[in-house]
Structure 1
Amino acid sequence: MTGMPMIDTPSPNFDTRSLPISMLVLHYTGMPDAASAINWLASPESKVSAHYVVTEDGQVIHMVDEGDRAWHAGRSFWRGVTDINSASIGIEIVNPGHEWGYRPFPQTQMGSLIPLIHDIIQRHAITRGNIVGHSDIAPARKQDPGELFPWHQLARLRLALPRPTKNLMDPHWTDGGFMLALERFGYDIADPKAAVVAFQRRFRPELIDGEICGECRAILLALLLPKPRGDE
């Protein structure tokens, strides 16, 4: 358990893990306000939960013990793992989301999220490549935490993979070759366009069109190298 100050609001929605913790999944709540989201995650009727919630004013809500399997990922896949709930810690970040008025994540919120992430990944030895968004693990179903989430801020602190920006080179893969590379990186490519959109949302958020281009190919190639170089 982290030593950060937090509010205990237990959720009954958890069960037993069947895998060791190796991932951290970031979500947005996608509800009109924090109270609605926390109440829903704490309700037995919802059948969903998260280990933590971080509000826009920086409060950290603890809902499920890290040793237990929270129900936050749903049907998902990352790097060969299909029971993401068993393998991950889930953090819900309060934001109305695309349905209720998506907006930037305030620095007060990030100021609490960053040390929480740091603490979790240190204790569980989670690698940067396994710090992912909900849209990364469920590209056909989810958009969160979305294109406004400041992944670059985490990357500078080595809390997420950077967007590669240096020495980029287009490998000129065919579209099929790009999809195979995307699968090798970690994505579920069962819905190819959704997988490309999810990749763009994370690593090229200024243009999310689902089209495979030279820039996307160059970014993906750099990510597959041992040390992607970006804005760290």
Structure 2
Amino acid sequence: MINKKWYKYGLIGLVSMVLSACASSVVDERYQAKGQDSRVKYVVIHYTWEDMPNSLRILTEGEVSAHYLISDDEPARVLQLVDETQRAWHAGLSQWKSDVNLNGNSIGIEVVNLGSRQSGQAVPAESSGWQPFTRSQIERLIVLLKDIQARHGIPAENILGHSDIAPQRKVDPGPLFPWQWLAQEGLGRWYDENRVTELMQQYRQTGLPSVLDVQKQLRQIGYMIELTAEMDKQSKNVLRAFQMHYRPSRYDGVLDLETAAILQDLSR
């Protein structure tokens, strides 16, 4: 038979111990340091290269992931798959300026889009057949980006494509992604068209800049490129990524007047 007196005082003691333990573990959050900012420095935009059902399955059941997925419905929906406080596995081997492996300091956004496909396989960026993004997708993306930018204090020039941070192996979000539209919304960089026209005229008279100068300018902007002074494969891939972002009418990795002028303007 249970001793009621022991039970009563034993229970009171147990409750007191639990409350005392809880009280001692409470964190005092009354004070906040002035010297702090968000760990998130970049936003990286991708296309999924899959339809919506497969995109959602891959991004939730596989190793690859992203913080947000924008559907191809009408109207488009925004799905959060990874909390912004957590690391998503979307960037892979990557670099922008001095930052490497951008999974740790970026937010990844996947947009449902098939990219460019041929017989179910990826094709070179020079090929045609790219799927356009819908207006609804871009409108939802702009709202999302402005919210992320405001909360994390992300500079406009740190909103990038996967091909920007991994030009040797990635081409998404591709040449049909409307970077100029985003830049007009304060969500990216763009060039001064009048200045580019002037620079093109100068290059007609003086000739194109040297390969080494082009490599230095690409590096100045943020691209990962080795300074070889040769238009080698890695340089063509980086130049192609630059063209897909800023001059998508032609993205063959070959330097021409317009590419050189845009590059010069953006690297100032």
Larger fraction in helix: 2
In the alignment, is residue 63 of structure 1 matched against residue 81 of structure 2? yes
Q: Deviations over 1:22-76 (max 9, x none)?
A: 0000000011x11101111101xx2110000001221111100001110000111
Q: Percent identity at matched positions?
A: 41
Aligned-partner Cα distance in 1 for 2:257–2:137: 35
Aligned-partner Cα distance in 1 for 2:100–2:93: 8
Query: TM-score under structure 1 normalisation?
Result: 0.84
User: Helix, strand or coil for the counterpart of 1:147?
Assistant: coil
Aligned-partner Cα distance in 2 for 1:197–1:127: 24
Aligned-partner Cα distance in 1 for 2:249–2:111: 21
User: Helix, strand or coil for the counterpart of 1:89?
Assistant: strand
**1:144 matched residue in structure 2:** 172
Between 1:214-223 and 1:196-205, the stretch displaced more is 214-223
**1:35 matched residue in structure 2:** 53
Conserved 8 A contact 1:95-1:102 = no
Which of 49, 52, 62 is residue 65 of structure 2 equivalent to? 49
Aligned-partner Cα distance in 2 for 1:34–1:82: 30
User: Bigger radius of gyration, 1 or 2?
Assistant: 2
User: Helix, strand or coil for the counterpart of 2:96?
Assistant: coil
Aligned pair count?
204
Alpha-carbon distance, 1:163 to partner: 3.9
- 5+ residue gaps in structure 1? 1-18, 226-232
Report the aligned-residue RMSD.
1.5
Conserved 8 A contact 1:129-1:161 = yes
Alpha-carbon distance, 1:89 to partner: 0.4
**2:136 matched residue in structure 1:** 108
Which of 237, 245, 258 is residue 202 of structure 1 equivalent to? 245
Runs of 4+ in 1 over 6 A off after TM superposition: none
Q: Which has the higher contact order (CA 8 A, sep 6+)?
A: 1
Which of 147, 159, 169 is residue 131 of structure 1 equivalent to? 159
Q: 1:71 to 1:62 in 2, by over 3 A?
A: same
Conserved 8 A contact 1:152-1:163 = no
Q: Deviations over 1:66-104 (max 9, x none)?
A: 011100001111111112011100000010111266311
Conserved 8 A contact 2:157-2:187 = no
Alpha-carbon distance, 1:162 to partner: 1.6
Which of 179, 203, 210 is residue 174 of structure 1 equivalent to? 210
User: Helix, strand or coil for the counterpart of 2:217?
Assistant: helix
**2:25 matched residue in structure 1:** none
